[in-house]
Structure 1
Amino acid sequence: MRLVLASASPARLAVLRAAGVDPVVVVSGVDEDAVAATLTDPTPDELVTALAAAKAAAVVAGAAAEHPDAVVVGCDSMLAVDGPDGTEVVGKPGSVERARERWGRVAGRTGQLVTGHAVVRLRDGVVAAEAGGSERTVVRFGEPTDAELDAYLATGEPLAVAGGFTLDGYGGWFVEGVDGDPSSVIGISLPLTRRLLAQVGVSVVDLWRPTAS
């Protein structure tokens, strides 16, 4: 049995490899904005779970042809922060200006990293079971100086990650701590994935790479 990761994220891949799983990577190519537009006033948890499910569904057919006995895992993450009209969820900034504005809002404060996962079990090339869920982790942000923030933005890292920060890269210097699951903040929650795998009848230990005897 293989785990198929429907994500181009190197951080998610690294988490899985460090945890003993060598996934097959298939990029979904899902238009996240288009999926979000089909939802009516979703909660942050509903939004990320729907996006994760769309990513998993997008690669199922191709994955089934190559790996008929597999589990496909889709993931999505966003940061929930306080906005002028209540809680707002933000994804990848995409520009230096937007990343700077977001750091101005979270520096010295907390936000909730909301991660959604979807798991599709393939048996003999056919979808046999599906499960989905979300995880929230509180992130306590530090207060980078203007010079530090300029240097961080210049790396380009925060432009392409949910919330404009990482825990496992340059951004880790400016995160004071997390309350909850650290792997969820990096991009894929190992505890949540294990629970979802169990719901579709798969034990995570069956996905671990063989160890040398």
Structure 2
Amino acid sequence: MADSTRITVLISGSGSNLQAIINACNTAALPSTKIVRVISDRKDAYGLKRAEAAQIPTRYHGVLPYKKKYPDSSENPQWQEARRAYDADLAQLVLADKPEIMVCAGFMRIVSTAFLYPLKSSKVPIINLHPSLHGDLVGANCIKMAWEEFQAGKRTKTGIMIHYVIAEVDMGEPIVQEEFGMDGLQTLGELEERVHMHEHGLIVRGTKIAIEALKKDGKA
């Protein structure tokens, strides 16, 4: 395991995509890999239990203490003092484990440069799963937006991508994308299920591609 690529995963919820990565580690899908820690911004995230079941160290890093300490004056999350303090501490938590890659698998918070710059300086790439194709829909409600456009007859397809994280939300360079049709869907819930079905495979593929790029550059 000494040569295993070290992965840290950020989550906020059930952790089904985390589970896909856990299952893939040290298989042909993700050879010579090790998740060194799972960090959640929500104490009750079921993904923490998934990690514990796999004997992976976990950490809860909640934002509430920061909101109490730093009343926000800016509407832009990138510049809120509480968010930047939270992100700066999150970066140090991540870097303490010396990961070689950071995977956001359903992490529902926008990260600021207070998080991005320390990881960039340490040459730790950050990748994210986003439920839309690059340049199509951005933000947290992409599945709902795609559904509403489908209902209005404005689209017949949607997709998902794994991309590198930059300061501009959901606009980083795509690593891998997958488009699929929406025909036959009757409810928003059915679309969500279809999206999640594709996500579990794509997050593993995207992680593998990003790790291969690291090795090619001599960073892992």
Q: TM-score, normalised by structure 2?
A: 0.44
Task: Specify which structure has the bigger relative contact order, considering alpha-carbon pairs within 8 angstroms and separated by 6 or more residues.
Answer: 1
By percentage of residues, which structure has more strand?
1
Q: TM-score, normalised by structure 1?
A: 0.45
